[in-house]
Amino acid sequence: MKLSTIAQSLADEIKAQDWSDAHTRADGARHDRQIDHTQSEQLSDAETDTVQVNVVWVVGQALRTHDPNFDIHVFAEAAGVSPAYRLRNDGSPSGAMDAGIRPVDGDEYTPRQLARLLGYRDESRPGKVVRDYLRSKYPNRRKHSRWKLTEHEAADVLANVPPKR
């Protein structure tokens, strides 16, 4: 799938930025660590990846609203998002990219998507940390039924399940 002209332009800008010191500077799209010789504290590689993927999600949310053919997976790859966020161990697209943008009416989240979004990528039972939280919050829910979460429920999970560090 090909990105729209505006989506490709935005992805190129995101990819071109040095996000490693985004928490200490506000100098816009002109920033180039090689030229600026900035001495500010840098984020770790994992922290830098997290900043970048958040930017992709925010921009992707706006693009999704205006482009019915928008694909967050293609956009994230074009913007240089780390494969750790984009792909499963087998190389197929992960649910994390979809989980990072608000759903269109009727979209639902799964515990596996939310767990991956929170950084739980190596669980032996994917999504277990989220299902454990949901079971404690909804103890009377029928056992062995699939969890399909609304945007509100997903937001609650993301606010209350600690991210894996």
pLDDT tens across 46-96, in order? 888 988 998 999 999 888 877 778 899 999 999 999 998 898 888 888 878
Residue 20, amino acid: S
Quick one: pLDDT at residue 81?
A: 94
Mean per-residue pLDDT of the chain: 84
Which are the contacts of 137, defined by CB distance < 8 A and separation ≥ 6? 156
The pLDDT of 123-143, averaged and rounded, is 90
Q: Residue 111 has which token pair? A: 């515990």
Q: Is the pTM of this model over 0.75?
A: no
Residue 124, amino acid: S
**Is-contact 81 57, C-beta < 8 A?**
no
Quick one: pLDDT at residue 33?
A: 66
